[in-house]
Amino acid sequence: MKIVADLDIPFLEGVFEPYAEVLYKKGDQIVREDVLDADVLMTRTRTHCNAELLEGTSVRMIATATIGMDHIDLPYCASKGIEVVNAAGCNAGAVMQYVFSAVYGVSARKGIKIDDCNFGIIGVGHVGSKVEAMARYLGFNVLRCDPPRAAAEGQEGFCSLEYLLENSQVVTMHVPLDEYTRGMADETFFALMQPGAIFINAARGEVINEDALIAAAPKLGAVVIDTWCNEPNINENLLDIADIATPHIAGYSYQGKENATKMAVRYVAEFLGIEELKDFTPVDTQEGHDPVLLDLRGKNHGEIAAVFQYNYPIFTDDFRLRMEPHKFEKLRAEYQYRRDIYVQ
């Protein structure tokens, strides 16, 4: 058996070697010749899994250690009988932490009042649900827009996109990238947003029309961007106007990465019949990486902001990207994972 794996998938080296030949390469450097005789391809977001890469190869499974699958041509894979699995929900806690460190950090820095505000969540899946739970815990009024969920569960508890944008002081996006969401945050979208509102994108860069966001930025209270179009060649005009800008690391916690690798390895082990790895869990050899339990009850805005910044100093990531935007990929590859947070 042969496995080709993105060498930046953490905690993976040495796991499959007793059972299969393993080739590690940078995700954006994996080419057709590498996978011609491979059974499994393990990826992150930088490997474009399409006909150009896969046609005529022996790949039977793609396991991506990410939530998103927009780097994979799913119809093509289905037509060729290639099984595709992802790590759904693996880093939801880390993205939630990112959102609230950003909201409290930027509101404190710019003097934006967020007490008792409407917190609008677009996309309430694994990540959006975590964001919703924390927002309710902190006392925000939550507005939810998720048409697929509303269609399946009923409209109660959900609102239209237009209503959310017109009535939210914080708008955060957690949608997958697909034919319906690509470019959804356009001129009309930003025109509907309230003056002074905070806008956050930690979903996929391509859900935003970046020119429309740049044009709308003067009316917004703050702009927070973690995911960008054309990564790693990011729009430096958007970087200049963003209040917080980070290199696609919102989900980069120890727990998020451990979950992603655990899920990917277990899928592959099941597929290849490797009994010893079907219950695999990464072994973290370093101390001090356990999740942090927080009690934020009764704390005021400033105290909550300080707690979030202490546990995740988001402006450090912002500073590093601004200093070296051309090193976007290096900043991601060498990122020092933070710890997830929980509340009581």
How far is it, in rounded angstroms, from Cα 207 to Cα 113? 27
Look at the chain and count its residues: 344
Q: Where are the beta strands (DSSP E) in 192-301?
A: 198-201, 222-225, 244-245, 292-294
Name 77's Cβ contacts closer than 8 Å, sequence gap at least 6: 49, 54, 62, 83, 84
Burial class of residue 309, CB neighbours in 10 A (0-12, 13-18, 19+): middle
- 247 preceded by cis ω (within 30°)? no
Residue showing tokens 């409407």: 118
Does residue 143 contact residue 135 with C-beta atoms inside 8 Å? no
Tokens for 19? 């059972």
Backbone angles phi, psi at 303, to 5 degrees: -70, -40
| CA-CA-CA-CA dihedral for 32, 36, 39, 40, to nearest 10 | -10
Name 101's Cβ contacts closer than 8 Å, sequence gap at least 6: 308, 309, 311, 312, 314
How far is it, in rounded angstroms, from Cα 265 to Cα 16? 9
Catalytically active residues, by annotation? 204, 231, 248
One-letter amino acid of 211: D
Tokens for 111? 């003097």
How far is it, in rounded angstroms, from Cα 99 to Cα 94? 9
Tokens for 262? 């655990």
Q: Is the dihedral of CA 189, 194, 195, 197 positive or negative?
A: negative
- Give the pairing type, strands 40-43 and 21-25: unpaired
One-letter amino acid of 241: I
